[in-house]
Amino acid sequence: MTAALVFSTALLVALAADRYVGEPPVRYHPVVWMGYYLNWAGKRVQRLAGQEVAFTHRGHVSSQADFKAFWLAAGVWIGGSAVVLIAALALQWCVLVVPGLLMQAIERATGPIFGGFIGSLLSAMLLGCLLKPMLAWAMLRSEVLAVEAALNPAHGGSLAAGRERLSWLVSRDVTQLTEAQVRESAIESLAENLNDSVIAPIFWFVLLGLPGAALYRFANTADAMWGYPGVYKGQNWQWAGKWAARADDVLSWVPARITGVLLAAVSRGVTWKTLRTEAARTPSPNSGWPMAAMALALGVCLQKPGVYALNALGRPVQAPDVPQAIIYASKVLLAGVSIAFIAIYFANTVLL
């Protein structure tokens, strides 16, 4: 089995495990471990940087640069990412090399072809199991559909239940959202996390293997926990969160555009010019691409009042739009995996 087949099979194994097994238990989940580290490190940064001096007497964040907070946070981010990279690289080496060594006895008994195939297949399966925690399509799909189910009166749902379920997906205040706004937020979260939890990890796995996918998940988790442009939950991230936010912006730049283009392609009728124009309406340089593509694909307006309105002339979101958004996202996953297979084959057979 060639290297291209090993990595392609590993990706299939990861997706199969995502669908049929689901997420690992919390105590064994590497992304949860990343979160624990970032939570601990973030508290130390806040304390050591003396973040209280960054507030004005009225409680607003000072515009004065706080390089101490910036470099402290950058240092712990770099340290954490180094550990993630080294651990992922070591694990990948083990699952790619050790099974081959163990199969040498089989090769001597049955011949190099059979023994080599078994070793490569075992490597692919183990690598896929390690890759799985970096992907979360099944959970994302399930949580978005759960929001719609919670809203549905036919299933005992209500607006209050829909808001409560949405709070599992988003960090914004959901207490005053209307039914349409709850669905908007769910679809926005689906589109944004289609990139963050699916397409981007696959992209970096294709480029750099397991270390690439693991580094991306670390950066994305750090951005989710630190990347706020001001005060969040009583902590000032104006400068302490800048490195994490910019690192995630850099690593998400290409995948976000791939996700947006694929969404436009599978839905048809969305032009590049329109997509680019709408994507530029969000403050984030990346999240606007998948969200704008989804808004245009569905023909709806997705907005965050006072911040952005994507496809402003679109109709309000309705109940059938949520399952339709899931269908579009599923097609993007299939298209993305197909492209990944081609890229893996090209990289391992043409370039090498």
Q: 7-59 pLDDT, tens per residue?
A: 999 999 999 999 999 999 999 999 999 999 999 999 999 998 876 555 554 55
Q: What is the DSSP letter of 65?
A: -
Residue whose token pair is 């995502």:
18
- C-alpha to C-alpha distance for 303 and 301, rounded to whole angstroms: 6
pLDDT attached to residue 279? 97
Average pLDDT over residues 79-87: 98
> Residue 268: what pLDDT?
86
Q: Is the pLDDT of residue 111 over 90?
A: no
Per-residue confidence (pLDDT) for residue 285, from 0 to 100: 95
Judge whether residue 114 has pLDDT over 70. Answer: no
**C-alpha–C-alpha distance, residues 294 and 329, integer Å:** 9
10 Å Cβ neighbour count for 20? 8
The dihedral formed by the CA atoms of 83, 89, 94 and 95, expressed in degrees to the nearest 10: 120
Flag whether pLDDT at 78 surpasses 60. Answer: yes
> Shortest CA distance to 212 belongs to which of 84, 337, 336?
84
Residue 110 has a pLDDT of 60
- Predicted local distance difference test score (pLDDT) of residue 185: 95
The SS3 of residue 160 is helix
Cα 227 to chain centroid distance, Å, stands at 15
- Position 105 confidence tier, pLDDT thresholds 50, 70, 90: low
């607006």: which residue's tokens? 159
Non-local (6+) Cβ contacts of 122 within 8 A are 99, 102, 103
Pairing of strands 235-236, 231-232: antiparallel
pLDDT of 349 strictly over 80: no
Give the integer Cα–Cα distance in Å for 183 and 323.
Answer: 11
Give 348's pLDDT tier (boundaries 50, 70, 90). confident
Q: Are 189 and 291 in contact (CB under 8 A)?
A: no
3-class SS at 318? coil
Q: Which helix (H) or strand (E) holds 37?
A: helix 30-48
Residue 56 to residues 52, 60, 72, 107, Cα–Cα distance (Å)? 9, 5, 22, 71
In the chain, how many domains are there? 1
pLDDT at 137 over 60: yes
Cα–Cα distance measured from residue 329 to residue 262, given in angstroms and rounded to the nearest whole number: 9
- pLDDT reading at 338 higher than 90: yes
Q: Residue 216's domain spans which residues?
A: 3-350
Those residues with Cβ within 8 angstroms of residue 181's Cβ, 6 or more apart along the chain or in another chain: none
For the CA atoms of the chain, what is the radius of gyration? 22
Report the distance separating Cα 292 and Cα 276, nearest Å.
9
Lowest mean pLDDT among 146-155, 193-202, 244-253: 146-155
Contact predicate 220/244, CB 8 Å: no
The reported pLDDT for the residue numbered 291 is 98
DSSP code of residue 234: T
pLDDT at 117: 74
More confident residue, 352 or 110: 110
Least confident stretch, 42-46, 58-62, 63-67, 85-89:
58-62
304-317 pLDDT, tens per residue?
Answer: 888 999 999 999 99
- Residue 100 above 80 pLDDT? no
Q: How far is CA 70 from CA 46, 53, 276, 343, in A?
A: 10, 14, 32, 37
DSSP codes of every residue in 74-141: HHHHHHHHHHHHHHHHHHHHHHHHHHHHHTHHHHHHH-HHHHHHHHHHHHHHHHHHHHGGG--HHHHH
Q: Mean of the per-residue pLDDT values for the chain?
A: 91
Q: pLDDT by residue (tens digit) across 154-212?
A: 878 899 999 999 999 988 889 999 999 999 999 999 999 999 999 999 999 999 999 99
Cβ neighbours of residue 93 closer than 8 Å, sequence gap 6 or more: none
Please indicate whether residue 233 or residue 280 has the higher confidence score (pLDDT).
280
